[in-house]
Amino acid sequence: MIRDYREAPLDTRTRALCDFAVRVTRELSSVRREHLDELRAHGWSDEQVHDAVQVIGIFNYFTRLAEALGIDPEDFMGPHRPTGPAPRD
């Protein structure tokens, strides 16, 4: 899950949210109402979607901040640091 959620045994509801998070992160300008409707169809409430977008945005902010300052966030992961090769896009 840490390296690639697409290979984790996730239920369809959680996978839909992860797919949405990737879209927001990588293709923000492509997010449309139908993407939100898809989350609703998987059982996510408007409040939950709002909270998720807040978390996605904060995570993206801190990731970009760390990259700009040359900080490797994995240095702070301690024993939960993933091993093995990084995932490919």
Residue 88 lies in a domain: no
Q: Each residue of 42-73: pLDDT tens digit?
A: 999 999 999 999 999 999 999 899 889 888 86
Cα angle for residues 34, 41, 88 (degrees, 5° grid): 70
Residue 66 lies in a domain: yes
Residue 79 lies in a domain: no
Q: What is the DSSP letter of 87?
A: P
Residue 36 lies in a domain: yes
Residue 54 identity = Q
Look up the CATH number of the domain holding residue 61: 1.20.1290.10
Number of domains in the chain: 1
Neighbouring CB atoms inside 10 A of 17's CB total 20
Lowest mean pLDDT of 56-60, 74-78, 82-86, name the range: 82-86
- Name the average pLDDT for the chain: 87
- Domain that includes residue 28, residue range: 5-74
Residue 86 clears pLDDT 90, i.e. is over it: no
Residue 28 lies in a domain: yes
Q: Is 88 helix (H, G, I), strand (E, B) or coil?
A: coil
pTM (two decimals): 0.75
